[in-house]
């Protein structure tokens, strides 16, 4: 059973007016994400991992340093799919239980935005910024390279890719502008709420 690249949940040009060009997705989804899927299939073909779920491969390979290359590719496949689903044209803001939970655990949406921005800005080099449910409490964390909450037994609710290829076409080296635009225009709060409900 080969691992597959899930389709984008929107057209490549759907976020053009919200700060992400179709060209970004042609490279980021069409080349970077696809390369991780292809490499993962190459690495797992004919092994005991070939018939495991993507989540199982991530958990197994994270605990085994000899499978670091498999982990990196499997986690990046999962991370990117999660990131695409974290995006939505003019995503709006959190409502209902999610909004109440953010206010309870961060103090306000503005405080959450500050924490998330800080994590995304201060992740040195490549990595990810996450909103997670950690035992019933919402927290912001950052992870390097391919690492993700799933590998640590945590529940991911939202992510932002801060690898340079995620924003270079649109923002060149201005990561803070990319983060600001994500929080103001692109967060898929419906996806976050769905993840919270399943936590």
pLDDT band at 91 (very low <50, low <70, confident <90, very high): confident
Judged against a pLDDT cut of 90, whether residue 150 lies above it is answered with yes
| Average pLDDT along the chain | 97
pLDDT in tens, 31-67: 999 999 999 999 999 999 999 999 999 999 999 999 9
Q: Which two tokens stand for residue 155?
A: 């529940």
Distance, in Å, from the CA atom of 122 to the CA atom of 120, rounded to the nearest integer, reads 6
Torsion from C-alpha of 156, 158, 160, 166, nearest 10 degrees: 90
Domain boundaries, the chain: 21-85, 96-198
Model-wide pTM > 0.95 = yes
Judged against a pLDDT cut of 80, whether residue 140 lies above it is answered with yes
Judged against a pLDDT cut of 80, whether residue 1 lies above it is answered with no
Judged against a pLDDT cut of 90, whether residue 199 lies above it is answered with no
Q: With 0-12 CB in 10 A as exposed, 13-18 as middle and 19+ as buried, what is 140?
A: buried
Q: In this structure, are strands 137-144 and 155-161 parallel, antiparallel, or unpaired?
A: unpaired
Judged against a pLDDT cut of 90, whether residue 181 lies above it is answered with yes
Q: In this structure, are strands 155-161 and 127-134 parallel, antiparallel, or unpaired?
A: antiparallel
Dihedral sign for Cα 65, 129, 166, 40, please. positive
Distance, in Å, from the CA atom of 6 to the CA atom of 30, rounded to the nearest integer, reads 11
Do 21-85 and 96-198 agree at the fold level?
no
Q: Average the pLDDT over 75-85 and give the result.
A: 98
137-144, strands of its sheet edge to edge: 137-144, 127-134, 155-161
**How much is the pLDDT for 158?**
99
pLDDT in tens, 17-37: 999 999 999 999 999 999 999
Q: Is domain 21-85 annotated with CATH 1.20.1050.10?
A: no
For the domain spanning 96-198, the CATH number is 3.55.40.20
Judged against a pLDDT cut of 90, whether residue 107 lies above it is answered with yes
Of the candidates 58, 72, 191, the residue with the CA atom closest to the CA atom of residue 127: 72
């Amino acid at each position: 059973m080969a691992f597959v690249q899930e389709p984008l949940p929107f057209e490549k040009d759907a976020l053009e007016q919200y700060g992400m060009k179709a060209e970004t997705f042609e490279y980021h989804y069409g080349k970077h994400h696809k390369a991780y899927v292809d490499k993962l299939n190459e690495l797992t073909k004919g092994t005991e991992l070939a018939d495991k779920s993507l989540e199982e491969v991530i958990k197994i390979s994270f605990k085994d340093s000899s499978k670091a290359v498999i982990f990196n590719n499997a986690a990046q496949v999962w991370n990117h799919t999660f990131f695409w689903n974290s995006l939505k044209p003019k995503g709006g803001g959190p409502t209902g239980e999610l909004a109440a939970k953010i206010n309870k655990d961060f103090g306000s949406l503005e405080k959450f935005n500050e924490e998330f921005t800080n994590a995304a800005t201060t992740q040195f080099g490549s990595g990810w910024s996450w909103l997670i449910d950690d035992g019933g409490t919402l927290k912001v964390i950052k992870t390097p390279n391919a690492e993700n909450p799933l590998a640590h037994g945590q529940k991911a609710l939202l992510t932002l890719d801060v690898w340079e290829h995620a924003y270079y076409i649109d923002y060149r080296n201005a990561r803070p502008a990319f983060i600001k635009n994500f929080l103001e225009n692109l967060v898929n709060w419906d996806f976050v709420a769905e993840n919270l409900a399943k936590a």
